[in-house]
Structure 1
Amino acid sequence: MTIAMHPNPSKVDQLLRIAAREELLPRFARGFSQASRQMKLDGSLLTEADLAMNARLREELARYWPDIGFLSEEAPMEEQRDLLRAPPPLFWCLDPLDGTSNFAAGLPFFAVSLALIEEGRSILGVIHDPIRNESFVAAKGQGTTCNGKRLILEAANIPLESSIALVNFKHLDAQLALRLMQFPPYGSQRNYGASALEWAWLAAGRGHIALHGGQWIWDVAAGSLIFTEAGGVCTTLDGGEFLNLTLDPCSVIAARDDALFMAWRDWLG
């Protein structure tokens, strides 16, 4: 598939906006009963909203771009494994509802995240936040926008100890988590419970640094592109690239500029 045949980012954004408005917002407004929830094998929550969004977007993406493969967090595990064992040159990577636990609890922190991956690299990323009606869109080499406005991260010019950190302790090494709690190197810490939103908000300058001990491919594929195209810096804790075509989670360390990234990485060791 040539560059000219790649999906138009605005069209992809439109599909996500409409689907989220019609599938997610009505369900969020009326709340959930216990019967509408179930637990997956990995212990995470699954709701009818996840499944409805997944089914709708899978159908619509296939209708418009039938030759592009499809990987989703909510696909059967064997289907996920089969695709990643022999990945097509171009495929979608979808998290139909990131922040499911927030969604089910009535907390307004969730999003839909979609990336287009070509030859193992994200070339298009869209994260839509239906509560705030914000769409973060990035195409490789073309920068990042929020609702059409260009996002450019400038140097924060602050020391690490003045930074706002987005840190998820759940998957961190116990010793590192304890050190962070006892001797926090940042000014304050947040965890919104939705990886996609955190990537997008970092790209918008709503935070300075981030750390996560375990994100899956659908957690990072769109968000990391959106963040780096805005000017942010990110790697794994050991300095490697984290978009690997496997079902293994990876660590994430991120900062809005080089100086903060180096200070954050040095503190983490």
Structure 2
Amino acid sequence: MTQLFNNAQEWQTLKDGIVTLAKQEVLSRFEKVTSTTKADGSVLTEADTEMQKATAEFLMKQWPQFDFLGEESSQEEQAEALRSTQGCWILDPVDGTSNFASGIPIFSVSLALVVNGQVVAGMVYDPDRDELFAARKGLGAELNHQPLVAETPKTTLKKCIGIVDFKRLSAELALKLVQTPPYASQRSIGSVALDWCWIAAGRGQVYCHGAQNIWDYAAGWLIVEEAGGQSATLDGESVLVDRVVKRSAVAATTPELFKEWQDYLA
């Protein structure tokens, strides 16, 4: 692991910078901007483009040794950044843009640092709630400077809240979840990065999503891992891969719930 963010001052500089930029470039525009539709059908706002631009400038000034991959970067730029031998930042400037553009106050900024194919640092900031989830590889997870541990008093799947994005699941699996739900209740909040963080915080206990990109999940994945939660794809592989390709995700707060959840999904 890079030793950079073992330094408390450097870590705080990074966290303070992202929080400040998110308030300036994202929260200040909430309910004040119009949106457009990208070629892939996803939503884009001025907050996305301006947050990405401002964050890239901040990171380059502070840590010029790392490359940069943003959701709004071109595919060529994204692929080149991931090939970096020094490491690369991965940013989703507004995760939950559809919520943001619709006036729904559930969205976030997600930033991860990947070195040699490993996520070594990650943070997800929810500017509406002023909640900063963060983690460093091997050093645990935190929420607003307090240790974050994935735990729950709910000991069986049937007592749990499931965070599930039905839209991106196969029709067969989605129908199974609707007809024979294994949990007590289900939510879909519209921000993948916060999905992961809310699992780490125990706000939901099990999670399933059919297709998410590396900028959606990289930081949240590390936060769940460092909080002690467990995750895999629907096929049982590691969610994390060092390329831009959509991945399914299954996660839970505890090993016991994770196994029960995987058994049901299988």
Residue in structure 2 matched with residue 204 of structure 1 by the alignment? 201
SS in 2 for 1:132: coil
Residue in structure 2 matched with residue 39 of structure 1 by the alignment? 37
Hey, what's the Cα distance between the residues in 1 that align with 2:142 and 2:160? 24
Q: TM-score, normalised by structure 2?
A: 0.95
Alignment of 1:153 onto 2:155: no
Q: 2:191 aligns with which of 189, 194, 198?
A: 194
How far did 1:5 drift? 7.1
Deviations 1:150-201 (A, max 9, x none): 0112353421111000000111111111111111111100000001111111
Q: 1:22 aligns with which of 21, 24, 33?
A: 24
SS in 2 for 1:102: helix
SS in 2 for 1:42: coil
How many residues are treated as equivalent by the alignment?
264
Residue in structure 2 matched with residue 257 of structure 1 by the alignment? 254
Q: 1:106-121 residue pairs with structure 2 within 5 A? A: 106-121=103-118
How far did 1:6 drift? 6.7
Identity %: 45
Quickly say closer, same or farther: Cα 1:177–1:27, change in 2 above 3 A.
same
Say if 1:163 and 1:188, in contact at 8 Å, map to a contact too: yes
Residue in structure 2 matched with residue 3 of structure 1 by the alignment? 3
Bigger mean CA deviation after superposition, 209-218 or 87-96 = 87-96
Say if 1:69 and 1:88, in contact at 8 Å, map to a contact too: no
Residue in structure 2 matched with residue 88 of structure 1 by the alignment? 85
Q: 1:162 aligns with which of 148, 159, 166?
A: 159
SS in 1 for 2:68: strand
Alignment of 1:144 onto 2:146: no
Bigger mean CA deviation after superposition, 120-129 or 37-46 = 37-46
Hey, what's the Cα distance between the residues in 2 that align with 1:232 and 1:2? 23
SS in 2 for 1:179: helix
Query: Alpha carbon RMSD of aligned pairs, Å?
Result: 1.5
Say if 2:95 and 2:110, in contact at 8 Å, map to a contact too: yes
Q: Structure 1: which 5+ residue stretches go unaligned?
A: none
Q: 1:118-129 residue pairs with structure 2 within 5 A? A: 118-129=115-126
SS in 1 for 2:128: coil
Quickly say closer, same or farther: Cα 1:5–1:154, change in 2 above 3 A.
closer
Deviations 1:122-162 (A, max 9, x none): 01011111101110110001111111000112353421111
Alignment of 1:229 onto 2:226: yes
Quickly say closer, same or farther: Cα 1:89–1:242, change in 2 above 3 A.
farther
Say if 1:233 and 1:257, in contact at 8 Å, map to a contact too: yes
Residue in structure 2 matched with residue 134 of structure 1 by the alignment? 131
Say if 1:142 and 1:229, in contact at 8 Å, map to a contact too: yes
